[in-house]
A and B are shown apart, each in its own frame.
Chain A
Amino acid sequence: MKIFVCVKQVPDAKDVRLDPKTNTLAREGVESIMNPYDRHALEEAVRLKEAHGGTVTVLSMGPPQAEATLREAVSCGADEMVLASDRAFAGADTWATTYTLSMAIRKLGGADLILCGKQAIDGDTAQVGPGLAERMNMPCITYVRKVVAVADGAIRVERMMDDGYDLVEAELPALLTVVKEINEPRIPSLKGKMKAKKQQLVMLSAADIEADPDQLGLKGSPTQVVRVFAPEMRGERAMIEGTVDEQVAALAARLEAIL
C-alpha cells in the first residue's frame, strides 16, 4: 500500500501570544513544530505499513525550513520525504494548497491512501483534507478516531460526529483526516534518527510538478485577507475585591441572584 501523509510545519501554539502593549504577535522564541494532528496521521500510517506492508511518504508544502519537520517524520518511521517548495507557492490559501499537494502526489505516482491531521493548529480551517480528496478524486472520511480494518481494497473506520460516531467503509484509494484519539504517536527511534540524517530529501518546485502558475500561491488563492485586527473584548468587568472570604460571599450572592 502506498501511503502519503501530508504534514505542515507550524509555530508552537503554546508560544504564540499577543503582545498586549503593541497588539502584535510575539514571535521571538516561537519554535517550529510538526502540526500535532499530523503526528497522529503519521503514526497511523506507520502502523498501517507495519501491519499491511507498503511505503509511507511524507509530503509538505512549505519553506525550505520545513525540511526539519520532514526529517522528524522519517525518524518516526516514514520511508520517503518530499518537500514542495517554491516562492510561487507562498501565500497559498487552502484552495491553492490542495492544488499544489495534488499535483505533487500525481507527480510521485499517486497514492492508495492519504492521511492528514484533522486540521493545522495555525489556521484551524480543516479544509485541506477534504479539498485534497476532491482534487485526487478520492472519497474522504474526516475525524477518524479508529481504523478498524483494511481489506479487499477498502478501509473501515470509525469517524467522530457531533452526536456520536459512525462506522464507515470507503473504497481505496481514499483520504482520511484523523483526530488525536486515534493513537499515541511514537517518539523517534535511534535507528529512525540515523536514517533521517542520511535520507535524501526530494524537492519539488512549481516546474517539477508541472503546475499552472495561475493556480499557485497567493495568486491562485480565491480568498484574500483584507484586514487583521486585535479582537474586541466587551465585558462589564465588575471586579470583586476584598479578602478571600469577602470575595466568595459577594460572588455567591451574585450567583444566587442569577440562578
Chain B
Amino acid sequence: MTHRVPEGARDLSVAALARVEGEGAMRIRLRDGELEEVAFSIYEPPRFFEGLLAGRRMDEPVDITARICGICPIAYQISAARAIEAACGVTIDEGPIRELRRLIYCGEWIESHALHVYLLHAPDFLGYDSAIALAKDHQEVVEQGLALRKAGTELVRVIGGRASHPVNLRLGGFYRAPSPAELAGVRPLLEAAREQALATVRLVATFDFPELEIDHAFVSLKEEGRYPIDAGRLVASTGLDAPVAAFDEHIVEEHVERSTALHARLSGHDGTFMVGPLARYALAREDLSAVARSAADEVGLPAVVTNPYQSIVVRAVETLEAVEEALAIIDAYDEPDRPAVDVPARAGTGYGASEAPRGILTHRYTIDDDGIIVDARIVPPTAQNQLAVEGDLTSFIDDHRHLDDETLRWQLEQAIRNYDPCISCATHFLDLTVERE
C-alpha cells in the first residue's frame, strides 16, 4: 500500500477502499510532519448509467436504476419514479401508495443501516479489522445485526416481490399492493427488531469515539411531522428551504482536476456540506418518533452531532425510527383500490429526491411528449459528501499526526466509513488477482 515515498515524507494510501482497483482511493502525504496532500477520490457509478437511460421509455428507469446499487435499490426506484412523475405533473405525496413506498423504504433503511453498523462500522470500534474477525469472538453481536437486518429484508420482500432486485415497483406505485394481512405478517419480526434496534442504540453509544469536530453545513430533505425518508423539501442548516425541483440551483457540481468525480457545493455557502444521517438528525430530530427520540436522549446523543464518528449512533437511532415508522404504517394501512395511479406522458423535466440510507439521492429526467427520456441525471449522496470527507480527513490528521502509520490509516479509513460511502455501487465480482496457476 505504501509506495514511492519521497525522502522525509510519509505516504499513506488506501487503494483497497473499493472492490475494483482505482475506483476509490484515499491518498495522504505528510512531509516532515506537515500535511502535504489529502485526496479522497471515487468514481461514481451512477454517472455512467445516465447515458444508458437516454432514449429509453420513461417507465424503464424504475427498473434499470434499481440495479445500480445492490444495497439501496429502493432509493433509486423511488427517486426515479418521483422524478418522472413530477415531469408528468403527477405527485404522490399522500394516500396508501405513498405509505407503501415509505414502508418499503423503511425496510431498505433497516437492511442498509444494520449492515453498515454491524458488519462494517462496529468492527472498527471494537478493535477488529473485519466482521469476520468480530464474529469469531462475538458471534452474538453479529447475529443481532443480522437478525435486525432480516426485518428490513422481509419488508422489502413482501412489498417489493423479491428481497433482492425488487420487481413490484413502477411509475405511479406498484404492480400489486400487498394485503393488510401480508403486511401484518411482518409485524412479529418488526416487533423483535424494535428491541434489537434499541439494544443497538445502547450498544454503539458505549463505543469510544475518536475526537473530531466538523463544521459542515447539513443538507437533508424535510417534511413536517415525518422524519425524512422517501420524500420532502430540500433544507439546510444555512436556512435553505426549497422544493426539490430547485435542487440544481442549490447543489452545484464542479469538476476537480485530480478526479473524474464532480465535487458538489452548496450554493451561497463558502464551506463544505454533508448529507446523510448526521444531517437528517440535525435538521429533523423533532420529527423522530417518541421511541427513537427517547432512545437518543437515553444515550445522551446531543441534538446536533458534530463528531462524525458518532454517526454510528445516529444510524442506530434511525434504524429504530424506521422500525417504528414501519409498524405505524402497517397498523394504519388501507389497501389502495388500485395499486398505481396513471402517469400519462407529457414533455417536461422533473426532479425526484429521497433519502437513501447514506443521504439525498436526486434524479432528474427530461422527457418528450412520447415519454422518451431525452436527458437523465443522477446525483448520489456520496458525490455530495466527497469534500466533507476530505475535510474530515484533513482535520483528523492535523490533530493526530503523531499516530503511527498503521493506527492513522485505520482511523482515517474509519473516518471515511462514517459516511458509508457508496463506492462499491454496482461492483462486486470475485477478485483473484494473486492467484497463480
Do the two chains belong together in a single complex?
Answer: no
* Chain B interface residues toward A at CB < 8 A: none
